[in-house]
Amino acid sequence: MPDGVTVTWKISLPCSRAEAEALAEDNFFIASTDSVPTIVTREDDPKKPDAWAIDVYCDAKPDTKMLRNIAKLVPSTTAKPTIEKLGDEDWVTMSQQGLEPLRAGRFYVHTSNSPPLDTLNIHNICVDAGQAFGTGHHETTMGCLEALDRLKQQGRSFRNIADIGTGTGLLAFAANHLWPHAKIIASDIDIVAVEVSKTNAVANNIKLGHRRGAVRLLQSNGLDSPAFKRRAPFDLIIANILVGPLVSLAPQIAAAAKPGTILILAGLLVHQKPAVVSAYAKAGFRLRGTRLESEWPCLTLVKARRYGRIRPTRQPKSPLAADYFGEC
C-alpha cells in the first residue's frame, strides 16, 4: 500500500497454525471492492501453539462479500470476524508489533521499528511488513537465509544469481551482502511485490540495475521473462515459493542452470519433499542437503555434471536431526 494511505478498518478472526502458515505462503489477497487488503498472521497465545489469528487491514469498510471471503480462509473456526475502525493509526506499525528482530546465520532481520545490530560481521536487513511475503519470520525464509550463510561458510563464490519469487527482496539482498560482486536478478509474479522490493532496496542501500554488485528487480511468471534467458546460465538459483510452482518450474530452472549450479528450494512441507526431489532429479539435480525449520524443509541441490540415472540421496534416520549433509 502506498505511503500516506491510512487504513481505517481491521478485521480479525481466529485460525489454526496450519491455516496461518498457508496464508503467509500464499500471499493471498481477498479484495471484493477497489480496496486491496493486507493480511497479517500472528500467534495469538504462545502457550497454545495452534491458536493463531489473522488480521486483515483495509482502507474501505468491509462488505458482506469480503467478510465471507475472509471466513473461507479459515474453515477451522466458527467464530464471527470482529470488525474495528482504527481511525488514524499507522497500519505498518500495528502489523509489525509482533515482529521481533531475528538472527539467521550472519543475518539480522529487523523492521524499521527496531534498530540494526551493531556487531562485527553481521549483515543488517530492514524489511517492514506489507503486501509481499518474506519478512524473514516464516520458517521457509529462515531456512533460505541459513542455507545462503552455510554456502558462504563453505567458501562458495557466485557471480550470477537468480531469486525466483522474491517477495520483499530479502533473499536477493542477503545474496548481495554475501557476494557483493555478483549480478543478481530477482523476480516475482506480483507487481506489488516488485514495487515493495524496490522500496526495500533503497532502504537497505542495495544498488539496483544490471551491473555486477546490483540487483535487477522485475515482474515475471516463473522464468518467462526474456531477461532470464539473456542472463542464464546461473550458478546460484533461489526459489522460495509454493510447492505447485516449485514442481512445475523444474524444467525452466534446469534450463537456466549449468553443471554445478547450486539450487535452494523452499516453500514445501515435509510430506511434499519427495515430489519436489523427484521433479528436480528428473531435471538433472541431485539433493545435497536438507535443513528443517519446524515442518518446512529447505533443500540444497546441485545440477549434475553427468547425466543418466541419478542415485537417490540417503536421508538421515530422523528428519528432526537433519542438517546439511554431503558436499554441494
Question: What distance in Å separates the CA atoms of residue 66 and residue 30, rounded to the nearest whole number?
Answer: 7
Closest CA to 265 of 127, 90, 110, 140: 140
The answer to whether 101 touches 116, Cβ cutoff 8 Å, is no
- DSSP for residue 270: G
Residue type, 37: P
Alpha helices in 206-272 (DSSP H): 226-231, 243-248, 250-255
Rounded Cα gap, residues 197 and 182, in angstroms: 18
d(CA 290, CA 308): 23
Cell numbers 536438507 correspond to 290
SS3 category, 35: coil
- Is residue 164 within 8 Å of 253, Cβ to Cβ? yes
Annotated binding site for S-adenosyl-L-methionine: 141, 165, 188, 240
Residue with cell 538433472: 284
Instruction: Please give the annotated binding residues, written as ranges.
Output: 141, 165, 188, 240
CB 240 within 8 A of CB 167: yes
End-to-end CA distance of the chain: 40
Contact 268, 244 (CB under 8 A): no
